[in-house]
Homo-oligomer: A and B are copies of this chain.
């Protein structure tokens, strides 16, 4: 009787539903601690399934962590790219990228706290997955800057690829730091605005550095 609604779903739909329930339950449990301290049984209990059923979805907790990384950072990457695609001016790109980070942090604090924390956390496969997603983030940004999607950054097309990578990695690290700073003050609108203003000025400083870079190096 309890599963009457579920019987109308296809098996694949139900499986994907349970998988998402496991991801959501894990995120909820991880609010104040690290993934290395998370037990499989507490996740299945919170998701309302048996421990044995967990293995239909993930081989273990580390793989569940990797799935959380791919889901959250994959979405953010796509959204960041969409923001850049519609704009041409450097200041507008900075302002709109910051606005995106702010709204995403407000909308998904638990997910982004998980990323900020596990980037240096105790679970190696999750650290590797986060590093990989952030590298992809930097690569896509480098592409957009070099191919003229962001018009005012066209001068970067003349840079050696490794210099572009150096700059975009700095920007991506700054992005992660900005999310973490926002998480620290979430719920205090003035402090949030202050953190965004500080991060925006820092990103503009980095942009100034980029413009001054080729001439001086």
Question: Which residue numbers of A lie inside 8 Å of B, CB to CB?
Answer: 31-34, 36-37, 113, 116-117, 119-122, 127, 131, 163, 166-167, 169-170, 173-174, 177, 180, 183-184, 198, 201-202, 204-213, 216-217
Most buried by B among A31, A204, A209: A209
Assembly CA distance A19 to B214 (angstroms): 52
Assembly CA distance A217 to B120 (angstroms): 35
A206 CB to nearest chain B CB (Å): 6
Contacts of A127 in B (CB 8 A): 184
User: Cβ of A120 and Cβ of B208 under 8 Å apart?
Assistant: no
User: Cβ of B210 and Cβ of A166 under 8 Å apart?
Assistant: no
| Closest chain B residue, CB of each to CB of A177 | B173
User: Cβ of B36 and Cβ of A201 under 8 Å apart?
Assistant: no
Assembly CA distance A6 to B23 (angstroms): 52
> Quick one: which of B34, B166, B205 contacts A34, CB cutoff 8 A?
B34
Q: Are A201 and B32 CB-contacts (below 8 A) given A117-B121, A208-B216?
A: no
A67 CB to nearest chain B CB (Å): 20
Q: Are A180 and B213 CB-contacts (below 8 A) given A37-B34, A166-B198, A166-B202?
A: no
User: Cβ of B167 and Cβ of A205 under 8 Å apart?
Assistant: yes
14 CB < 8 A contacts A-B: A33-B34, A33-B36, A37-B37, A113-B120, A117-B120, A127-B184, A131-B184, A166-B202, A167-B202, A169-B198, A170-B174, A204-B217, A207-B209, A208-B208
Contacts of A204 in B (CB 8 A): 217
User: Cβ of B34 and Cβ of A122 under 8 Å apart?
Assistant: yes
Assembly CA distance A55 to B102 (angstroms): 42
Q: Are A213 and B202 CB-contacts (below 8 A) given A33-B122, A34-B121?
A: no
